[in-house]
Structure 1
């Protein structure tokens, strides 16, 4: 079982504002697009805010026409002042107030021409606003998806710059979750908030201004409930905040478990550990479900809370506005427009509060991807080169190395492999054999000492130059999904079909291919069962042959194959080693009897060196290993 890489629920974001500022700085190349989005949004909001006021005028036209019909008993052609005076003489004071405010002329009826023109203008306004919003939304999608592409591009490039220790110390599931789920969450968050924040702020400002223009008294009454809405939104946001962070961190845990279960399915099944993985998955999945549920549930309270505030404001405006209409201090259309504004006012407030939660979720994901992008990288690569052609003279001089400070793995290793020699490295598990290979390839940097190739310190050579001269065949085979020919050609970009066929023949892959329906064009992958482990190993040997390196590393290349396939692999490796300096790591001592030099390692140091016969005659560590291995047969 792998350790849990998740974060305990409730752990807080390290730097929300700093993370969001950094995210926004990444949008700097798109600043002209953002300016255009801002302008389009500002125009759209202005038009939308103007809509209710114009509809209020339409209502006033209808209201005035209805009142003029009510005054049918009045002589036609009377002015509004004369009509008000007559109504007051008749003791109809409330109607007089309403007529005076509405500027009614008896007998005129509803002015349908004016009403129609207002409605056409309102319709045009809303259509134009919708078009502007659509264009702004389209541009936002371009900007945000470009940002997502850049984050993924940086993440992919980063993998080549971090030391191998960074990847070894972290779960693959969590790293994959950062590059996939977290980047997707960032883009989704920006899609939903980038333009909406500005739009809602402008809407609030515009609505507030229109409300005060219509009636400052009603506006002040409406704003009595705003503090309650802000308080509710703040409380909800704070409660939901930790759960949004946990949601994305726990997603990495679940991905980690699933990735382990898939990649190790055969081992899990063989040892009957399905229940263990199921239990671990259930625990992590339950934590994720709880965090997701609480995040959505609490943030979902935002809308009902804001609706409550909106309804309270609506009741206040409706009651007081009705009184004002009756008293003639405001028109019915103005009250209608004000009610629309008051209903709309709480919507952007609620949306802003909801966006605050979304931003917290996005910031949590951004922190995770930035933590990966900010991970310590390998020291700047040297630019030195080796002489061409390389002779393959390799020397370790008093090399010391530790994976973790204070825990030495290699202690004072000295070793000299002459050009063309086959050097076998043996020793018990944990002796440092594979570590020696990792240091030669500079997957890790040594703590002290020197590793020389042709007398040149490899620390002064670029890693690309170094690895171009070293071919590797590892115990764990790796094939990508593609044809056998493509997997062999992976070692060299400019390989011709003839080169691939020669490499296949040298490694006996041609025999394998002849038994497959499409030969070298048969599609294989690392997980598939089309070919066996040993056959995969032959393909990796052909790949190394095609690279034509001067130095060769064979790390336990026959440990996972059967005896018949081992003979094929041994023959292929013999062909591959010809004329090359070779380092062979092997547990099966029978496979390295003919090595020019056998190096015995224990506890990170070389304890014996010599040929097979010399070391047996000494009766030391090698002789003990050899006798123990053959006594067990």
Structure 2
């Protein structure tokens, strides 16, 4: 493995090591803009930030004062053999270092609070943004990769704000103060000491040009691994069913190798920094000893000044070392923050029109007039026309990709139609507030989704203000009450996210109870009885029949025996309506619907 890391650091990315510095796509694209945006979160607590800056100023001044006092002790007291004065100065020196420790503690204490609040607000804003983005955004992205933005990327920002911001600021102040005092003591020796700066700059530039892209690459690879793991854990049943464990392990190993390789080389290059700085430290000490000794022999400076310069040279290279190290941490944090801000800057769901209406009650008359829609460029729906009267059931049938789910997405305004008009009780759908529209709708989908929590909480999701009595009534209407009461803790039985512990049919009954509680005027059913045993299907059908009574219902059907009582059946093909009518009328037409119906009958026959 180590040989592979050395010989093929970018075998998956196909990027030669010599060309890493030219790979601009993996660098933060707007580094200073991103840093400025992170800083805006810190400045929301100006009072605490002012205290932190004050403590940094004090600690930096005290760190410069200490070595200066040591030099004074040598020249004014040790050389002069003044014991009394030396004792007093030593006591003052102890006080200086104690005050320095206290100021460092306070600045760290206050900065941690500021950083935690900033990250809290950032994470909160990102989570809120998730709920303001259109459905199309989530349809195009892996959920695990999005989760990585909330966890890993923001954690990187958190570490940087807690540790790096103060160090960077303190290092800059220490550098400025150190150079100022050194120039005051001996301009010539200062110039000699500063000769290491060009060498340091060249080394740091060579290293950071490579670590920047590598840290960005590492964050991207980490997001891909998280997304892959989330997807595989969600689909583990399918993986085991088709015995694809070995292929999945191979795919994961490849992605894990990519993450390992990018992480290995980012650490290797960033690890050069302290080694280079130590070498330059030794070079600096050697220059001070050589030229400082010459100047001292000729009476230009004192021994105390040489001692001060030696300590200041260490203080000078230490902030540079810290800046170099923190720069790499900063690059990683900026790369993560850029990914977070990219989500925050995504176009939110289209705002409601200014004159959008709020509906206290709807009758449920739904009308499509020449409606067309395209997800990308190619039309998914073309000139769709139909009318659903209040209380009617409209069923949509057709092969996969015919446009059934798209119609539902348009009615719920998950997507906005691009042509024609959809009217609800005579009001254009775009003139109704989204939240208000959806508050009058309920969905019972093919794959029921339950949240982690009790059955009571999952049903109450349909109406958070519902009482326990209303929850029980909804469960009875959905034919779910009996099986719930047979569970050890009844309505207080805790379910996992995937509903582990109860059957698919029982999960579906709970979602029907949730829909009952919502008291919708518009009901959407997406093959709610698929993959259910016969007895449970009968219970679900009974519950759905009660639920649909008096409500305008839109049903996506794959099994035609479940929609024979629909008021209107619409047959779709390639985004167009090719047949419509009730079941008997469509069978008599001997068209596509009848062919589909007869084929399903043959499958059911022994």
Give the TM-score normalised by the residue count of structure 1: 0.89
User: Alignment partner of 1:404: what SS?
Assistant: coil
Task: Identify which of 327, 336, 341 aligns with 1:356.
Answer: 327
2:55 corresponds to which residue? 40
Alpha-carbon deviation of 1:132? 1.1
Task: Identify which of 24, 48, 58 aligns with 2:39.
Answer: 24
Task: Identify which of 222, 228, 238 aligns with 2:209.
Answer: 238
The worse-fitting range, judged by mean Cα deviation, of 31-40 and 294-303 is: 31-40
1:55 corresponds to which residue? 70
Alpha-carbon deviation of 1:61? 5.5
In the alignment, the residues of structure 2 paired with residue 361 and residue 36 of structure 1 have an alpha-carbon distance, to the nearest angstrom, of 27
The worse-fitting range, judged by mean Cα deviation, of 426-435 and 18-27 is: 18-27
In the alignment, the residues of structure 2 paired with residue 580 and residue 348 of structure 1 have an alpha-carbon distance, to the nearest angstrom, of 71
2:560 paired with 1:589? yes
2:345 corresponds to which residue? 374
Alpha-carbon deviation of 1:329? 4.1
Alpha-carbon deviation of 1:62? 6.0
Task: Identify which of 120, 142, 147 aligns with 1:149.
Answer: 120
2:372 corresponds to which residue? 400
Q: Structure 1: 5+ residue runs without aligned partners? A: 1-5, 65-103, 105-109
In the alignment, the residues of structure 2 paired with residue 42 and residue 259 of structure 1 have an alpha-carbon distance, to the nearest angstrom, of 47
2:500 corresponds to which residue? 529
2:393 corresponds to which residue? 422
Question: What per-residue deviation string (whole Å, max 9, x for no partner) do you get for residues 58-98 of structure 1?
Answer: 3346642xxxxxxxxxxxxxxxxxxxxxxxxxxxxxxxxxx
In the alignment, the residues of structure 2 paired with residue 594 and residue 53 of structure 1 have an alpha-carbon distance, to the nearest angstrom, of 94
2:140 paired with 1:169? yes
1:481 corresponds to which residue? 452
2:530 corresponds to which residue? 559
Alpha-carbon deviation of 1:324? 4.1
CA contact (8 A) 1:386 1:456 kept: no
In the alignment, the residues of structure 2 paired with residue 329 and residue 159 of structure 1 have an alpha-carbon distance, to the nearest angstrom, of 67
2:413 paired with 1:442? yes
Alpha-carbon deviation of 1:359? 2.1
Alpha-carbon deviation of 1:112? 2.9
In the alignment, the residues of structure 1 paired with residue 437 and residue 120 of structure 2 have an alpha-carbon distance, to the nearest angstrom, of 32
In the alignment, the residues of structure 2 paired with residue 419 and residue 500 of structure 1 have an alpha-carbon distance, to the nearest angstrom, of 26
Task: Identify which of 608, 615, 618 aligns with 2:589.
Answer: 618
2:158 corresponds to which residue? 187
The worse-fitting range, judged by mean Cα deviation, of 493-502 and 522-531 is: 522-531
The worse-fitting range, judged by mean Cα deviation, of 7-16 and 477-486 is: 7-16
Alpha-carbon deviation of 1:531? 0.4
1:468 corresponds to which residue? 439
Task: Identify which of 249, 253, 263 aligns with 1:278.
Answer: 249
Question: What per-residue deviation string (whole Å, max 9, x for no partner) do you get for residues 555-602 of structure 1?
Answer: 110112121211111111011111111112111111111122222111
CA contact (8 A) 2:77 2:85 kept: no
In the alignment, the residues of structure 2 paired with residue 141 and residue 461 of structure 1 have an alpha-carbon distance, to the nearest angstrom, of 46
RMSD over aligned Cα atoms: 1.9
CA contact (8 A) 2:409 2:415 kept: yes
1:94 corresponds to which residue? none
Alpha-carbon deviation of 1:7? 12
1:304 corresponds to which residue? 275
Task: Identify which of 346, 350, 362 aligns with 1:390.
Answer: 362
The worse-fitting range, judged by mean Cα deviation, of 446-455 and 230-239 is: 230-239
The worse-fitting range, judged by mean Cα deviation, of 153-162 and 23-32 is: 23-32
Give the TM-score normalised by the residue count of structure 2: 0.93
2:569 corresponds to which residue? 598
Question: Measured at CA, do residues 610 and 490 of structure 1 come closer, stay the same or move farther in structure 2, by a change above 3 Å?
Answer: same
In the alignment, the residues of structure 2 paired with residue 598 and residue 481 of structure 1 have an alpha-carbon distance, to the nearest angstrom, of 37
Determine which structure has more spread, i.e. the larger CA radius of gyration. Answer: 1
CA contact (8 A) 2:78 2:86 kept: no
Question: What per-residue deviation string (whole Å, max 9, x for no partner) do you get for residues 589-625 of structure 1?
Answer: 1111112222211111222221111111111121111
Question: What per-residue deviation string (whole Å, max 9, x for no partner) do you get for residues 202-229 of structure 1?
Answer: 1111111222333333222211222212
In the alignment, the residues of structure 1 paired with residue 291 and residue 496 of structure 2 have an alpha-carbon distance, to the nearest angstrom, of 75
In the alignment, the residues of structure 1 paired with residue 56 and residue 361 of structure 2 have an alpha-carbon distance, to the nearest angstrom, of 65
Question: What per-residue deviation string (whole Å, max 9, x for no partner) do you get for residues 487-520 of structure 1?
Answer: 0000102100110000011111111112210111
CA contact (8 A) 2:449 2:498 kept: no
In the alignment, the residues of structure 2 paired with residue 570 and residue 623 of structure 1 have an alpha-carbon distance, to the nearest angstrom, of 23
CA contact (8 A) 1:7 1:246 kept: no
User: Alignment partner of 1:272: what SS?
Assistant: coil
User: Alignment partner of 2:375: what SS?
Assistant: strand
CA contact (8 A) 1:63 1:332 kept: no
Task: Identify which of 170, 186, 191 aligns with 1:199.
Answer: 170
User: Alignment partner of 1:301: what SS?
Assistant: helix
User: Alignment partner of 2:313: what SS?
Assistant: helix
Question: What per-residue deviation string (whole Å, max 9, x for no partner) do you get for residues 512-550 of structure 1?
Answer: 112210111101123242101111000000000000111
CA contact (8 A) 1:7 1:249 kept: no
User: Alignment partner of 1:419: what SS?
Assistant: coil
In the alignment, the residues of structure 1 paired with residue 473 and residue 496 of structure 2 have an alpha-carbon distance, to the nearest angstrom, of 22
Q: Structure 2: 5+ residue runs without aligned partners? A: 1-12
1:79 corresponds to which residue? none
1:63-78 correspondence runs (5 A): 63-64=78-79
In the alignment, the residues of structure 1 paired with residue 589 and residue 197 of structure 2 have an alpha-carbon distance, to the nearest angstrom, of 91
In the alignment, the residues of structure 1 paired with residue 183 and residue 32 of structure 2 have an alpha-carbon distance, to the nearest angstrom, of 34
